[in-house]
Structure 1
């Protein structure tokens, strides 16, 4: 398909978190998302130290080809979306695919300590189960490299195949690995983890995208239990119809599922006892945020809403220092009712409710 024949429609706003709307087949959607983020990708991603190091080590490698083969065998439609993203970015497929596999690839041993540190940072989530007839809540700080502060999008997609979905998106990246929801009533927020168990398989970016198409928690968990995953994340998942919340630690070598029955937080390292023997990188920031969030929850800080924890600047849980390599790119709150999900996204402490809406459950 020629990129000029794309059926997708794109609309941009001047909102602090830019809005992109797309519809159509997989390539058309990918092309729209790539086109919307092309300038940011050229200006911020291609020169990103981590990507440069990975590209120098893995471009053209047999290992990257194995990741591509695994992805095409398991989820060809999402590879087609990456092909569309590449066309929209005006980049070759390998550039876009390697960018989307950056967490599945081992950094070279000679990279700088700063590049290594950024690789192990990112995100804090709060899960608040429903009480009585009330809603359940998932809230999340999306942290990332400072280069992408102010360069991200909220995408609203109505595909030809599968449920409509929306997600926060960093430039050039297949949506799903940040925070999002779909019209089946599923909410997902993601926390980075860095266990030492990478293997050739399906990229975790593609796994996250697959969950955006899931019709409920059971289907989502089945995806996370696949044995052919290349790496993994911690997934916070909620189902509006039942108001159930689950916390899933899913490194490549296993999957630990926890039903959430009391308020809890999760940062960027594995905490389930099943993974005590699995070697992982625990950055001091992740340990500090986990301990601070746990303490604040125990002290009933959530009476003031999840932002009372996620906007903490003393630890900090909320990262807003301009001289830091990692920043909070957005904060989201999802409130789950049986027939709908209310959501809002804050672009900063001073720019609250930059975007908000209601997804009705189909």
Structure 2
């Protein structure tokens, strides 16, 4: 039996109905694996009912009301009040209180390694990604496949109670997105980053997605790996709240959990030891030609490790899934590994329309 089962959930209908189905599917995970964590309790005590949280909600509703409606549905489906679930969806936009434990601070700063592998000869372009989070989420995450009354058909990996999009996913336009956490110290009132990620899954292509990341009213940010199947273009986009820098990939590249581009040299950020080590190891393995054996050779590395287990002192991250997206002109072929010894737990093909 898998130690990390990933349930496959399908949802249809209007925004609230979609959210409700996803909330129902993740209700026990949210109740049992989120509400009792130190991070959630600290955020709840500091920010619940605050004017700042209301400002984030106002900005989200003004920019993307349909996606806020999905969060309302998630809350209802999970049997929770909206503010509780919205607060959790704003975890990256809210500063943690200073008195939380070092382990919780490290967990908030950790997460994910991605690879961009451009088109070569007859081989497809590839985006591959390790999704790192709390070990408590093993076995509690979902793969959701959504066909809404509005917007595009899309699929995404989902944490309990979280609006999908900020992990890895794709849509019927052939747009692929994987997301890496960054911890830039430039938080500001604005549209929460979870909403921004969900909005990208509603776009028709790479350029449209990048325009969203150039918005100046974002509350915080991520690093985004973006791919467009019909052109096989791949882009690495660093998008903290205070800016957006884009690098289209002409050769294989990796990205972990800190800003690398020169545009942000002066921006204060938290860089964990794990992120530094994973970035250096992935860069070295790419230079040594490891990708000839496939993206998994790098993402399954256990020596650094790039594939993380919750057995180290420097942070408390755990790889909860690994995804590989192969981009062809008319389709995206994808697979999700639950663990190195549980490959192809989920597979599928998204044909472009």
Same structural fold, with TM-score higher than 0.5 when normalized by the shorter chain: yes
Tell me the SS of whatever aligns to 2:23: helix
**Deviations 1:88-124, CA, capped at 9 Å, x for gaps:** 0100000010010011000111111111111110000
- 2:328 is matched with which residue? 337
- 1:46 is matched with which residue? 35
- 2:346 is matched with which residue? 355
User: Map of 1:290-309 to 2, 5 A cutoff?
Assistant: 290-309=279-298
Tell me the SS of whatever aligns to 2:350: strand
- 2:184 is matched with which residue? 195
- 2:83 is matched with which residue? 94
Does the 8 Å contact 2:12/2:148 carry over to 1? yes
Structure 1 residue 118 corresponds to structure 2 residue 101: no
- 1:328 is matched with which residue? 319
* Separation in structure 1 between the aligned mates of residue 87 and residue 310 of structure 2, nearest angstrom: 29
* Separation in structure 2 between the aligned mates of residue 325 and residue 271 of structure 1, nearest angstrom: 22
- Cα deviation for residue 221 of structure 1 reads 0.4
Structure 1 residue 252 corresponds to structure 2 residue 245: no
- 1:310 is matched with which residue? 299
Tell me the SS of whatever aligns to 2:318: strand
TM-score by length of 1: 0.95
Tell me the SS of whatever aligns to 2:348: strand
**Deviations 1:165-205, CA, capped at 9 Å, x for gaps:** 00000000000000000000000000000000000000000
Q: Unpaired segments of 5 or more residues in structure 2?
A: none
Tell me the SS of whatever aligns to 1:37: helix
TM-score by length of 2: 0.97
Does the 8 Å contact 1:28/1:84 carry over to 2? yes
- Cα deviation for residue 150 of structure 1 reads 1.3
Equivalent of residue 14 in structure 2, options 18, 25, 47: 25
* Separation in structure 1 between the aligned mates of residue 343 and residue 38 of structure 2, nearest angstrom: 31
Tell me the SS of whatever aligns to 1:287: helix
Tell me the SS of whatever aligns to 1:70: helix
- Deviation beyond 2 Å, 4+ runs, structure 1: 320-325
* Separation in structure 2 between the aligned mates of residue 208 and residue 174 of structure 1, nearest angstrom: 9
- 1:8 is matched with which residue? none
**Deviations 1:197-216, CA, capped at 9 Å, x for gaps:** 00000000000000000000
Cα RMSD (Å): 1.2
- 1:69 is matched with which residue? 58
How many pairs align? 349
Does the 8 Å contact 1:15/1:354 carry over to 2? no
Does the 8 Å contact 1:166/1:180 carry over to 2? yes
* Separation in structure 1 between the aligned mates of residue 233 and residue 109 of structure 2, nearest angstrom: 29
* Separation in structure 2 between the aligned mates of residue 355 and residue 44 of structure 1, nearest angstrom: 23
Tell me the SS of whatever aligns to 1:213: coil
- Cα deviation for residue 15 of structure 1 reads 8.8
**Deviations 1:262-313, CA, capped at 9 Å, x for gaps:** 0000000000000000000000000000000000000000001000000000
Equivalent of residue 60 in structure 1, options 39, 49, 62: 49
Structure 1 residue 128 corresponds to structure 2 residue 117: yes
- 2:146 is matched with which residue? 157
- Cα deviation for residue 138 of structure 1 reads 0.2
* Separation in structure 2 between the aligned mates of residue 36 and residue 80 of structure 1, nearest angstrom: 17
Tell me the SS of whatever aligns to 2:11: strand
* Separation in structure 1 between the aligned mates of residue 111 and residue 320 of structure 2, nearest angstrom: 10
